Chains A and B, each alone.
Chain A
Amino acid sequence: MFDLEQAISDWRRQALAAGIKTPALLDELESHLREDIRLLTSAGKSQAQAFQLAVLRLGNPGPLRTEFNKLEHPAWWPVTIGSWLFVGALILMTVLLSRRLFAGKLNLLLLVHILSFTAGYGAAFLAGSFGIFYVCCRLLRALSPSRQQSLGRAVLMLSHLSAGLVITGMVLGMFWSHQHLGRYLTGDIREFGALCVIIWFVALLVMQRYGQMSERTAMLMCIGGNVIVSLAWFGAAILISDPWTRVHGMASYLPLALAVFLGMNLLFLAIGMAPAPEEA
């Protein structure tokens, strides 16, 4: 028995594997495919025949990808600036931590662990910022395909980076913990937070990989990532009174700052979930 929905889902996966990775574009091609199938079935073709013919008419994903690749644009300037600021912050942090390493106040394993976590959480925050930027541009109807493409590419790359670095940081932390505390996991709330971050971004990447996610969903998930990472990082630090939260009297205003940050992200999440002005 031919299952049209399954066939379309398989076609979408094949197109994704062939390199058509932009969800909005896949949605548009799928919409076209459905339109053609509807017309062909109303003309008397069976669903299976209509599907095969519609796929044939739409064209092979390979040549289609080649055509779309010609439309590839350099990164949009806000993406470029955000990325360079991120790289600059990482270099600065590496330099500062290296000084502590050479002063003998930090061992190499711990340094790489801290760097991995900071870079991983930082990448997640940057992806979330791009998600907020996407929501604002969508609201102002300032999203051209090239801007969408640039933000989509950046968010995907940062999600990979974040998941990879947080996993690395967690594994290194487990080794450090085993060396110094005799066990791999300590039950620390920060470990739980890191695990939540990993699950969130791996879920995003798996959904993207199987083509089951729209561009907007990816952006909203990155804003959700801001909420999860801020709770995993700053929320956990507040709960366990991490020593750094007491520096410069931060303990007094950090909970409020975190609450404002969470509220702001939830607001953008709600705006992003609402239909765009033209869809309403």
Chain B
Amino acid sequence: MYSGGMIEKELVAASTAPLILSLLTRGESYGYELIQEVKRLSGDEVQWTDGMLYPVLHRMEDCGWIKSRWVKIENGRKRKYYSMNKEGHKALRKKREQWTVISSVLGGLWKGQNV
């Protein structure tokens, strides 16, 4: 689901679910807004191929982490909003612990090193 950007695609792939879950803790959002927000927060370093975000969102919904609803916007058109479920909060806690461990291990290893 990942293209371009400075960060390697494997790392972007692994971080997609925690990124989406973390963004959704701020409130419900829709695919396009999530992409824009990730671009903005990462200074364009993390870039998702737009369409490829949706299979990930659907997979997360199937896992029961997030839920969705269609909301009518202007011109009678609809937009699909995603929000967190209880299971999503649990999954995010778990992912946060894992990423924190990785981050602190790397931080420790690189401390004082001129990498």
Contacts and interface: CB of A to CB of B under 8 A. Distances in A.
Contacts of B54: 25, 28-29, 32, 64, 68
Given A59-B51, A59-B52, A32 B71 contact: no
Interface string B53-78: 01100110110100101111000011
Nearest to A56: B50
Contacts of A241: none
A57 B50 contact: yes
Given A145-B62, A279-B72, A31 B52 contact: no
Interface in A14-53: 25, 27-29, 31-32, 34-36
Interface residues of B, number: 24
Contacts of B30: 31
Contacts of A260: none
Given A31-B80, A146-B62, A279-B71, A68 B55 contact: yes
Nearest to A61: B51
Interface in B26-40: 30-32
Contact of A28 (B31, B67, B71): B31
B55, B59, B64 — most chain A CB neighbours (10 Å): B55
B66 to A, nearest CB: 11
Nearest to A64: B51
Nearest to B54: A28
B79 interface: yes
A31 B78 contact: yes
Contact of B50 (A59, A71, A275, A278): A59
A277 to B, nearest CB: 9
A29 B62 contact: no
- The range of chain A's interface size is 20 to 34
Contact of A32 (B51, B55, B58): B51
A67 B52 contact: yes
A180 interface: no
B50 A144 contact: no
A70 B49 contact: no
A99 to B, nearest CB: 47
Nearest to A73: B62
A279 B69 CA distance: 7
Given A29-B51, A32-B50, A58-B50, A71 B58 contact: yes
Contacts of A57: 49-50
A137 to B, nearest CB: 14
B26 to A, nearest CB: 19
B103 to A, nearest CB: 28
